């Protein structure tokens, strides 16, 4: 009897020890039932950590709370300008005449001079590196004629990207209560779009200083000096917004985007952002599983001019999982039963499921990679009869 009670007492002590020291620092991953360290809790109004390729959210707190973005607004400002460059409606060497309004704009400055002409490329660097409000207004007026009209262009792009809780009224981020706002989630989507669509211009985000008109100013993103993997994106600060930072870093083949809003100081926004990034890189890994537009499987087509259609993905497929569990994943393809012609390129005809420990962790639609026209009368009649049998 004594021996039996002694063993139970020891077991209770062990369980109590584990409960006290281990459980508060871990969480069960809902997708895979794997114990991983809990995401850090930050001293910020809102934050989010996103894998740029898989789009998996690794940490978040109040990501959809609407807040003033301050100078993080300029991420969208340059995004619109980059689209104008890509569509050849603007060139880097194009000259912009600085208006009195641009010159007088309050806040951080590039120190451009009224009625002087400045190259588009210099204005962009003045926005990206120096966070120049004057440069933002000058280029907005050059493109749209008026800053308010340019803000509507910003809103159009926000809708296209999927920024559902965002509205802009200026190109700078100067306060406009109840009119100019966004969320951490929306900013993460914007940063991802900027990085993916414009790598040739995004490289400016990691430049540590820029000199214009004899004045050298340093990039306010202090993580650029602290962490070599960080290569952007933008800082922001107003009294209402607090100290904010959208940061991105790439280590090996994994890119993470962090958004931290409403911290108390410049050092706090950097520290909290670094904490998020370190957490993501330490405990997760991202792998590319399949290329876009590559044949993964085929499907039997009924009543078509051809009886086989190639199936694949519309975009590259990435997956982010907790470290050391990549080899446990399995991918399966599920094809729709008896797809009928006609079939257009891009039609969804099934799904790719990625499983970890018998749970789906991500899915992508299987699409037709080639078109199949409707077959002739005899083919349709023959397949109709065959379908009845099968």
Q: What is the pLDDT of residues 139-186, one digit of tens each?
A: 999 999 999 999 999 999 999 999 999 999 999 999 999 999 999 999
Query: Per-residue confidence at 218, pLDDT binned at 50, 70, 90?
Result: very high
Highest mean pLDDT among 22-31, 217-226, 297-306 belongs to 217-226
Is pLDDT at 6 greater than 60 in this prediction?
no
If we measure between CA atoms, which residue out of 321, 362, 50, 313 comes closest to residue 196?
A: 50
If we measure between CA atoms, which residue out of 357, 264, 383, 378 comes closest to residue 34?
A: 357
Q: Are 108 and 135 in contact (CB under 8 A)?
A: no
Give the number of other Cβ atoms within 10 Å of residue 365's Cβ. Answer: 14
Assess whether 131 carries a catalytic annotation.
yes
pLDDT of residue 220: 97
Sequence-ordered list of residues with C-beta below 8 angstroms from that of 18, at least 6 positions apart, any chain: none
Sequence-ordered list of residues with C-beta below 8 angstroms from that of 292, at least 6 positions apart, any chain: 312, 313, 314, 315, 316, 317
CA atoms within 13 A on the CB side of 90: 21
Query: Per-residue confidence at 37, pLDDT binned at 50, 70, 90?
Result: confident
pLDDT of residue 33: 53
Taking only the tens place, the pLDDT of each residue in 297-315 is 999 999 999 999 999 999 9
Assess whether 363 carries a catalytic annotation.
no
Taking only the tens place, the pLDDT of each residue in 115-140 is 999 999 999 999 999 999 999 999 99
Question: Angle CA(12)–CA(25)–CA(22) in degrees, nearest 5?
Answer: 20
Question: What whole-number distance in Å separates Cα of residue 184 and Cα of residue 87?
Answer: 28
CA 165 to chain centre: 15
Q: Are strands 242-251 and 230-238 parallel, antiparallel or unpaired?
A: antiparallel
What DSSP assignment string belongs to 193-218? Answer: HHHHH-HHHHGGGG--EEEETTEEEE
Torsion of CA 172, 174, 175, 178, to 10 degrees: -10
Sequence-ordered list of residues with C-beta below 8 angstroms from that of 221, at least 6 positions apart, any chain: 205, 230, 232, 233, 234, 235, 245, 247, 270
What CATH number was assigned to the domain covering residues 291-389?
Answer: 2.60.410.10
pTM to 2 decimal places: 0.87
What DSSP assignment string belongs to 52-86? Answer: TTT--EEEEESTT--B--GGGHHHHHHHHHHHHHH
pLDDT of residue 275: 97
Q: Among the options 32, 54, 108, 131, which is catalytic?
A: 131
Assess whether 71 carries a catalytic annotation.
yes
**Span 356-368, mean pLDDT?**
91
Torsion of CA 187, 190, 192, 194, to 10 degrees: -140
Where along the chain do its domains lie?
A: 46-287, 291-389
Question: What whole-number distance in Å separates Cα of residue 109 and Cα of residue 114?
Answer: 13
Domain 46-287 is in which class?
alpha beta
Question: What whole-number distance in Å separates Cα of residue 44 and Cα of residue 106?
Answer: 26
pLDDT of residue 387: 79
Q: Among the options 74, 125, 234, 303, which is catalytic?
A: 74
Question: What whole-number distance in Å separates Cα of residue 295 and Cα of residue 116?
Answer: 55
Q: Among the options 32, 46, 54, 71, which is catalytic?
A: 71
pLDDT of residue 375: 85
Question: Helix or strand or coil: residue 275?
Answer: helix
pLDDT of residue 381: 83
């Amino acid at each position: 009897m004594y021996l039996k009670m002694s063993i139970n007492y020891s077991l209770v002590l062990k369980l109590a020890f584990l409960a006290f020291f281990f459980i508060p620092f871990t969480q069960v991953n809902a997708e895979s039932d794997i114990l991983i360290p809990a995401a850090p809790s930050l001293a910020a109004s809102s934050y989010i950590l996103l894998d740029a390729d898989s789009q998996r959210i690794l940490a978040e707190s109040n990501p959809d709370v609407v807040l003033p973005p301050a100078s993080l607004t300029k991420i969208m400002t340059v995004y619109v300008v980059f689209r104008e460059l890509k569509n050849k409606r603007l060139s880097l060497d194009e000259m912009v005449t600085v208006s009195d309004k641009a010159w007088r704009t309050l806040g951080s400055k590039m120190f451009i001079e009224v009625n002087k002409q400045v190259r588009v490329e210099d204005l962009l660097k003045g926005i990206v590196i120096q966070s120049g409000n004057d440069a933002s207004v000058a280029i907005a007026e050059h493109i749209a004629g008026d800053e308010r009209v340019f803000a509507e262009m910003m809103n159009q792009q926000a809708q296209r990207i999927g920024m559902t809780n965002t509205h802009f009224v200026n190109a700078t981020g100067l306060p406009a209560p109840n009119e100019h706002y966004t969320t951490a989630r929306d900013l993460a989507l914007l940063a991802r779009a900027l990085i993916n669509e414009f790598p040739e211009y995004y490289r400016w985000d990691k430049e540590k200083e820029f000199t214009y008109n004899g004045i050298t100013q340093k990039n306010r993103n202090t993580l650029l000096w602290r962490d070599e993997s960080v290569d952007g994106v933008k800082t922001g600060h107003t009294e209402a917004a607090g100290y904010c930072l959208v940061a991105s870093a790439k280590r090996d083949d994994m890119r993470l985007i962090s958004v931290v809003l409403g911290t108390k100081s410049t050092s706090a926004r950097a520290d909290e952002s670094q904490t998020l990034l370190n957490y993501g890189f330490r405990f997760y890994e991202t792998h590319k599983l399949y290329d876009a537009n590559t044949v993964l499987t085929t499907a039997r087509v009924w009543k078509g001019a051809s009886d086989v259609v190639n199936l694949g993905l519309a975009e590259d497929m990435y997956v982010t999982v907790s470290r050391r569990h990549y080899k446990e994943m399995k991918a399966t393809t599920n094809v729709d039963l008896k797809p009928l012609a006609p079939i257009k390129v891009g039609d969804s005809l099934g799904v790719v499921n990625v499983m970890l420990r018998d749970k789906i962790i991500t899915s992508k639609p299987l699409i037709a990679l080639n078109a199949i026209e409707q077959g002739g009368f005899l083919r349709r009649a023959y397949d109709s009869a065959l379908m009845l049998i099968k």
